[in-house]
């Protein structure tokens, strides 16, 4: 299919964007799919995936297709040739994302990617080359649409802020049953990790660290050129068992001279009254600004029983990653903190705006590729115990 013809298709007046979901339940596709389904400019056509996947993944794919009441097409290659498909939402394991995104772009589709978009620098570079050749409009999920980000940009524009000197972000997710890690056996990081997919845990630098890394480059329009990193295991037996980190700290130097630090990880349900610490500090030559994602907020006090973690972990999701399994496990929502600032626009809605205007996204594959470079350098730094420079892609 001619990619330019596909672009003409998505801009046809009055024609809804035909969306193909790729992936299944127990993934962020539960959320992304709902965001696209809720937008009146969209029509979910089907859910698809590669044929050679596990029986478990096929079951999860069928589960999500049933939820959205759309067919499950089990031959992705054939699905990508369907002319009713304009947008492909890719939310499979990170090891498969680049391959599927390349296939979708080659088929003339526009692509919306789960984060991070892949695991290795070489595949990020290949995907970037393909989307440039095919003139694909691409976007990787991020938290750029969060109200905290608008406040950060406004802070940088204040006359009394001065020149940006430094940034710090602390982002700790409060999910999972903490305190189960064996602290007598500290973990040593290994250079060049290749496995990122686990049912019961995640590489938290890779999964959580993406958010501040995207935010910093988005704010400054400048890539990181050097990183010093440390990774560790403090909280969860699941992470320790899979030999992956649950906590990380990074020190970064950016091309514009700004120094930045990041603290990211997962600390357990009981560690925070809401989703977890989410704080951003901006240091200028004139003043410093500290922002909290949960301010302003309402703090609720009542005679209701205090919130408690689930008594038993869900067998397929002990961390409570996914909406579907959290509901199955009967995990009650935390209601002590009620946020006042609400998301004004979903990330999916912004991407559809880009398609309507035929404009590039502000978090395209290019930015996603830069983040993969930082990850590879950070894991090398944590393994070697030294600063690692990041070469231009």
pLDDT of residue 376: 97
pTM of structure: 0.94
Confidence at 111, pLDDT banded by 50, 70, 90: very high
pLDDT above 70 (res 375)? yes
Confidence at 210, pLDDT banded by 50, 70, 90: very high
Interval 126-137: pLDDT, tens: 999 999 999 999
pLDDT above 50 (res 249)? yes
Which domains, ranges and CATH numbers included, belong to the chain? 17-136 (3.40.50.720), 147-343+372-389 (3.30.360.10)
CA–CA gap between residue 329 and residue 309 (Å, rounded): 10
pLDDT of residue 10: 46
pLDDT above 60 (res 73)? yes
Interval 256-310: pLDDT, tens: 999 999 999 999 999 999 999 999 999 999 999 999 999 999 999 988 888 888 8
Pick from 7-16, 29-38, 197-206: least confident: 7-16
pLDDT of residue 344: 78
């Amino acid at each position: 299919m001619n990619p330019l013809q596909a672009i003409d298709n998505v801009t046809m007046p009055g024609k809804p964007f035909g969306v193909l979901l790729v992936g299944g339940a127990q993934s962020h596709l539960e959320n992304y799919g709902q965001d696209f389904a809720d937008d009146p400019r969209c029509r979910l056509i089907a859910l698809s995936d590669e044929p050679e996947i596990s029986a478990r993944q096929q079951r999860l794919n069928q589960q999500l297709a049933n939820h959205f009441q759309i067919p499950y097409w089990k031959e992705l290659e054939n699905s990508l040739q369907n002319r009713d498909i304009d947008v492909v939402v890719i939310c499979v394991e990170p090891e498969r994302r680049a391959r599927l995104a390349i296939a979708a772009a080659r088929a003339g589709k526009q692509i919306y990617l789960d984060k991070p978009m892949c695991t290795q620098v070489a595949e990020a570079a290949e995907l970037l080359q393909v989307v440039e050749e095919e003139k694909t409009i691409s976007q990787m999920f991020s938290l750029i649409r969060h109200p905290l980000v608008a406040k950060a940009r406004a802070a940088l524009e204040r006359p009394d802020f001065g020149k940006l000197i430094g940034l710090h972000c602390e982002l700790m997710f409060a999910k999972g049953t903490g305190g189960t890690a064996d602290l007598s056996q500290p973990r040593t990081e290994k250079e060049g990790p290749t496995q990122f997919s686990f049912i019961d845990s995640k590489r938290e630098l890779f999964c959580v660290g993406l958010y501040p890394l995207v935010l910093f480059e988005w704010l400054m329009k400048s890539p990181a050129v050097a990183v010093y990193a440390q990774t560790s295991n403090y909280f969860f037996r699941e992470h320790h068992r899979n030999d992956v980190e649950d906590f990380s700290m990074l020190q970064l130097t950016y091309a514009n001279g700004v120094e930045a630090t990041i603290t990211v990880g997962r600390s357990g349900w009981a560690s925070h009254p809401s989703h977890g610490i989410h704080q951003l500090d901006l240091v200028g030559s004139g003043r410093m600004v500290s922002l909290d994602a949960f301010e302003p907020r309402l703090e609720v006090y009542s005679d209701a029983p205090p919130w408690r973690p689930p008594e038993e972990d869900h067998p397929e999701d002990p961390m409570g990653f996914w909406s579907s399994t959290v509901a199955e496990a009967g995990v009650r929502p935390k209601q002590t903190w009620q946020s006042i600032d609400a998301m004004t626009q979903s990330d999916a809605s912004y991407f559809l705006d880009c398609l309507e205007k035929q404009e590039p996204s502000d978090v395209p594959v290019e930015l996603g590729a830069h983040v993969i470079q930082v990850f590879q350098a950070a894991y090398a730094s944590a393994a070697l115990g030294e600063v690692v420079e990041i070469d231009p892609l």
